[in-house]
Amino acid sequence: MIYQDRLARARVLMQDKAVELMLLTHSTDLAYLTGITGHIWERLACLLLTKTQAFFIAPSFELGNLSAESAALLDCHGWKDGEDPFQIVKKLVGYLKVGAVGRTTPSWVLLDLMKHMPHCHWQSADGILTELRICKDQREFELLRQVQEKACNGLVKLMTHGICGMTEIEAFDLLKNYCAQEGVIVSGGIIGSGPNGALPHHHNSSRVIQTGDAVCVDFVGEEPGIGYQADTTRTFCVGGIPEGFEEVYDAVNRANQAAFEAAVPGTPCEEVDQAARKVIADAGYGQYFTHRVGHGLGLDVHEHPYMSAGNRDLIRPGYVFSIEPGIYLPGKYGVRIEDQVFITEKAPVRMTPTDGLMSHDLRICE
């Protein structure tokens, strides 16, 4: 039922934008609308959504992988090696004149569509898909909160274990193991120790974590088969506190709270960024806050809405996004504190646990 409802909403938005056909290859957009997951390869697999039909074209040997729910939802058409699947597309929807494709659609797909449907005008489906996905429902909220809590449990285990004497790579491997114990597969992340923490997108290295280091831990992951993402950052010290660190940490912590308090329905997204940025600038570290304060989160780690300068879109109930201000002092350390928030009808609520070792208090670990 959930996918039927989403397809119905998609059709309404398509009609509003005078789009007759939406084509999606394997992507989180396809997963959102149909529950179908997978990767795009050299063989065509795609959804063709019109005002009355939902076709799914894929290699015949892949159709057996569809769930019963997805198979019942779609009119499926298989093809075999040696056949031209774009002829199936042409046969089913070749008469339509206005089509839209998702942003992850490969160029070879679009080029073949243009060849087989020369009278169709193709455009981006981003506007439709963003509007569909930007507001999360209660089920999505629960799934996001669940994976966030499990990921944070893995981080707490790492902090409790201690990482002094490990390399950044070893500490990250340990974090992945702890998260796996919680049912979360970590797909990427950063352990920036000492001066490496001043690089917001640091690549984990063989640097040994030492007493007196500040360590910034930022990682993403998901529960297998669920798809919704966790994104977590905490900064703590190992064995001691570097000079000047408490002042920097306090500024970032206050910036996090200021952004949280600004994130109410009806507020322009950019004002959340501005609220955090003002605190950090007033503390004298404005030039060292080098990225936007937040991004949306859902089936993708980065998606709409973005809490950044220039985004005047108004915050709406159902938005989910990160609040992650940071200060990065070259050659010294970096501090970032990240929470995921869900916007209710009246106010934001944090999905990231903020109790125990996940609180915003400055921590000294082993």
Q: Does residue 8 have a pLDDT over 90?
A: yes
What is the percentage of the chain residues whose pLDDT exceeds 70?
A: 100
Q: How far is CA 289 from CA 277, 285, 324, in A?
A: 7, 7, 10
Helix, strand, coil distribution of the chain in percent, nearest 5: 40, 25, 35
Number of domains in the chain: 2
Residue 64: CA atoms inside 13 Å, Cβ hemisphere, count?
A: 2
47 and 189 fall within a common domain:
no
pTM: 0.95
Q: Are residues 221 and 128 in the same domain?
A: no
Strands 320-323 and 303-307: unpaired
As a whole number of angstroms, the distance between CA 5 and CA 140 comes to: 14
Instruction: Tell whether 76 and 174 lie within a shared domain.
Output: no
At 165-216, the pLDDT tens digits run: 999 999 999 999 999 999 999 999 999 999 999 999 999 999 999 999 999 9
Last residue of a domain, one of 111, 133, 155: 133
**3-state SS, residue 257:** helix
Least Cα distance to 335 among 175, 188, 198 occurs for 198
Domain membership of residue 15 as a residue range: 2-133
| Same domain, residue pair 238 and 168 | yes
Give CA 350 to chain center in angstroms. Answer: 16
pLDDT tier for residue 41 given thresholds of 50, 70 and 90? confident
Tell me the per-residue pLDDT of 70-101, one tens digit each, with 9 for 90 and over.
999 999 999 999 999 999 999 999 999 999 99
Q: Is residue 231 domain-shared with residue 256, that is, in the same domain?
A: yes
101 and 158 in one domain?
Answer: no
pLDDT at 167: 98
Question: Which residue's entry shows tokens 């998260």?
Answer: 179
